[in-house]
C-alpha cells in the first residue's frame, strides 16, 4: 500500500463521512423537522427549538465545514484531472457551504434567541419571522442544489460523456456549456438571497426541482 494512495483515500473517507452528516441533516431539516413543526403545538415546537435545533445545527454546520475543507484538499490532489462534472459538483457544494455559514446559521441564531426570550417571559424578537423565512429559503435552495451536486460528484468517476473528460484535455466541456451552467446556478443562488421558495415550498416540489435542475445541467453538457 502506497502512502500517497492511503492519504488520498483517507481524505475521501473524511469527505464522504462529513458529507453524509451534513446532507443527512439537511434532509432531516427539510423533509422531517419543517413538516413536523407545521403540525405540532406551540409548546412542543418551542421546546424543540430550544433543545433539539441547536444540537442539530452544530453537527449541520461543522459537517458542512469539514466536507468543504476535505473537498478542497481532494481538488488540489486531483489538479489537472479535474473534469466538468466534478467542477459543477464543487460549485454547487461551495454555494451550499456558504449558504450554511452566511445565511442559515446566522438567521437561525436569531430564531433561537427569540425563542429563548419568549421562554423567559419576554417578547419575540421582531426580526425573528423574517430571519426564519430567509433561513428557510436558503435551506430549500441547498436541498435543490444537493440533488444535482450528488449526481455530478458521482458522475465525475462513474458516468461517461464530455463531462468526464479532464478539463485540460480536448473533448472536454465547451466554454458555452460551462458559462450557461454557471449562469443558471448563480441565478438560483441569487434567488436564495433575494427571492422566494416558489415551487420549492413543498417537499415534493423541491425534490422535483432538484431532479429537473440535474437534468437541465446534464443536457447542457451533452448537447452543447
| pTM of full prediction above 0.85 | yes
Give, as one character, the DSSP assignment of residue 31.
Answer: I
pLDDT at 80: 67
Give, as one character, the DSSP assignment of residue 41.
Answer: -
- Domains identified in the chain, total number: 1
Domain that holds residue 134: 3-223
Cβ-proximal residues to 56 (8 Å cutoff; 6+ apart), any chain: 25, 28, 29, 33
Confidence of residue 18 (pLDDT cuts 50, 70, 90): very high
Amino acid at each position: 500500500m502506497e502512502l500517497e494512495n492511503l492519504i488520498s483515500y483517507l481524505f475521501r473517507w473524511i469527505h464522504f463521512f462529513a458529507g453524509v452528516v451534513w446532507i443527512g441533516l439537511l434532509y432531516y431539516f427539510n423533509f422531517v423537522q419543517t413538516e413536523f413543526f407545521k403540525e405540532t403545538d406551540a409548546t412542543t415546537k418551542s421546546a424543540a427549538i430550544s433543545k433539539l435545533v441547536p444540537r442539530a445545527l452544530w453537527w449541520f454546520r461543522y459537517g458542512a465545514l469539514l466536507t468543504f475543507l476535505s473537498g478542497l484538499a481532494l481538488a488540489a490532489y486531483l489538479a489537472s484531472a479535474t473534469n466538468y462534472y466534478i467542477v459543477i459538483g464543487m460549485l454547487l457544494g461551495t454555494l451550499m457551504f456558504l449558504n450554511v455559514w452566511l445565511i442559515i446559521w446566522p438567521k437561525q441564531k436569531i430564531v433561537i434567541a427569540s425563542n429563548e426570550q419568549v421562554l423567559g417571559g419576554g417578547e419575540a424578537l421582531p426580526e425573528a419571522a423574517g430571519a426564519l423565512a430567509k433561513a428557510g429559503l436558503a435551506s430549500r435552495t441547498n436541498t435543490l442544489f444537493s440533488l444535482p451536486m450528488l449526481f455530478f460528484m458521482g458522475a465525475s468517476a462513474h458516468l461517461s460523456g464530455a463531462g468526464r473528460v479532464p478539463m485540460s484535455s480536448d473533448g472536454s466541456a465547451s466554454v458555452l456549456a460551462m458559462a450557461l451552467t454557471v449562469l443558471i446556478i448563480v441565478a438560483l443562488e441569487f434567488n436564495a438571497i433575494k427571492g422566494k421558495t416558489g415551487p420549492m415550498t413543498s417537499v415534493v416540489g423541491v425534490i422535483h426541482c432538484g431532479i429537473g435542475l440535474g437534468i437541465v445541467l446534464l443536457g447542457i453538457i451533452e448537447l452543447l
